[in-house]
Amino acid sequence: MNYTSIVKRIDNLGRIVLPKEIRRKLKLRENDEVEIILNDESSVLLKKYSAITEYEKECVILANILNGLIENNNVLITDNFAVLVCGKKEDEYLVDRKLSKKFLNILQDRKIFTEKTSPTFDILDMEEGIYAKAIVPIIVDSAVSGSVVIFSRDKNTTVRDKDIDLVKFASLLLSSKIKI
């Protein structure tokens, strides 16, 4: 593991400034939320906060239901960085895998991606053979919190319109759950 060490002074209000290099590496922008975790008595972990991770159990249930309804493809739910849950037990090895740059760019655009509007591509960073068929962002308070994804290991499978409607519904459901 690579470590970056930068020494900063705490001001009289208990604040520190995160250096630009660290903010850039974590993709932190102004007004992003950061989770502060006390690792042990002598270290603190800063992590970009993702509201959807608090609803992981609900995401598992929803992904399993969707996977039973959607034909010829699989379902997964992501936060803004990695796969959070998968709809099939055999896909659990994908959990915590980082998302590809193209996938992250689609999330930033806050638009629905379907294979019908753009060519399919690999979802994961550094892994081939997991192709996006539909990506629906989960938007909470005008910010993207994650996505509901239909994927396939076969580039040639197609996705039905009603399957896209199902993941749109799932995205809205998660969005409303997180807002409450």
> Residue 8: which domain range?
1-49
Q: Which residue(s) pair with 37 in the sheet? A: 45
The verdict on 101 and 142 lying in the same domain is: yes
Enter the tokens of residue 48: 């970009």
d(CA 31, CA 49): 11
**pLDDT tens, per residue, the chain with 180 residues:** 566 678 889 999 999 888 888 888 777 778 777 878 888 878 888 777 777 878 888 999 999 999 999 988 999 999 988 999 999 999 999 998 999 999 999 998 999 999 988 888 999 987 778 999 999 999 988 888 899 999 999 988 999 999 999 999 999 999 988 875
Pick left, alpha or beta for residue 127 (phi over 0 → left; psi -120 to 50 → alpha; otherwise beta).
beta
With beta carbons less than 8 A apart as the criterion, state whether 18 and 30 touch. no
As for how many domains the chain has, the answer is 2
Q: Which amino acid is at 100?
A: S
List phi, psi (to 5°) of 120: -70, 160
Could you say which of 29, 49, 69 is where a domain stops? 49
Q: Could you tell me the CATH number of the domain that includes residue 133?
A: 3.30.450.40
Q: Could you tell me the CATH number of the domain that includes residue 26?
A: 2.10.260.10
For the entire predicted model, the pTM comes to: 0.77
Neighbours of 72 (CB within 10 A): 13
